[in-house]
Amino acid sequence: MGNLSPQLNNLLNASRLGNPAQPCAEYQFLGEFLHSYLDTFSHRDKDNRPFDAISAKLGIGHGFAGSEPDYTYDEDMPILGNMPDPEVPYWDKREYRSLQGEKAVYEFLTAYGTSPALGFEEIRNVLERFNAIREEGADFPGKARFLKETINKLIKDGKLKLTKNTENSEKTRIVEINIEKGGSDEYKIKEAEKNRGKYLENLAGQEHKYPGVCLPGSKICKEV
């Protein structure tokens, strides 16, 4: 995984505290760590400088650039600040950086959890095709549809065996997912915010145990 930034270490450490009062908290922090970790592959230039450090230097990340740094497909024009470099010739290519980030997350998850159902080389082609699909801002039906159909085929073929907890805490097998807009598994911002509050509510006021992490009601964190 290489050297992590102090803030990434804060999130990773928070995911490993194993607080029995909030069993879902560690998974919440793990998700936030993985999101932030993957962002380092798109929000930094070839010299490992944060995106904002090569433009406005206002501490606003890629606010002025919209979703541009998060796109996974290549463009003819190099990304701002990422002009071709003989020593790192592919870093200005989004598809290359995206695949490196996906591989790093895969390696982390397979080391963190149980044996993988699929080896990385078995899904490399899927990721390369996914990364190459164009998108604009929040409009990415083609990418979501491709990913949904690919995952559902792997489930149908028995290569992925997924389960989820029911309301009575029993596990039930997942036979299909739908992450497209309006689908049953679509990411919902309001629901995610509600779940975060629920999973972390008993940690309020424990900033000393979770340095650098935003907890419910924390005065050191500001809404953005």
Could you list the pLDDT tens digit for every one of the 224 residues in the chain? Answer: 667 888 899 999 999 887 777 788 999 999 999 999 998 887 766 566 666 655 555 666 666 666 777 888 887 655 554 555 556 556 668 898 899 999 999 998 888 776 667 899 999 999 999 999 988 766 678 899 999 999 999 999 988 888 887 666 677 888 899 988 889 899 899 999 999 999 999 888 888 889 989 898 887 776 55
Asked whether residue 156 is domain-assigned, the answer is yes
Res 22: pLDDT: 79
Res 7: pLDDT: 87
What's the DSSP call for residue 222?
-
Note whether 40 and 50 are within 8 A (CB): no
Res 212: pLDDT: 87
Asked whether residue 94 is domain-assigned, the answer is no
Asked whether residue 158 is domain-assigned, the answer is yes
Which domain does 155 fall in, by range? 140-187
Asked whether residue 163 is domain-assigned, the answer is yes
What is the SS3 assignment for 16-85?
CCCCCCCCCHHHHHHHHHHHHHHHCCCCECCCCCEHHHHCCCCCCCCHHHCCHHHCCCCCCCCCCCCCCC
Asked whether residue 161 is domain-assigned, the answer is yes
Helix axes 6-14, 25-39, angle to 10 degrees: 160
Give 126's contacts (C-beta < 8 A, 6+ positions apart).
Answer: 150
How many CB atoms neighbour CB 143 within 10 A? 20
Provide the number of structural domains found in the chain: 1
What is the SS3 assignment for 158-187?
CCCCEEEECCCCCEEEECCCCCCCCCCCCC
How many CB atoms neighbour CB 27 within 10 A? 11
Asked whether residue 62 is domain-assigned, the answer is no
Asked whether residue 14 is domain-assigned, the answer is no
Res 35: pLDDT: 92
Is the pTM for the entire model greater than 0.85? no
Asked whether residue 176 is domain-assigned, the answer is yes
Amino acid identity of residue 91, one-letter, is: W
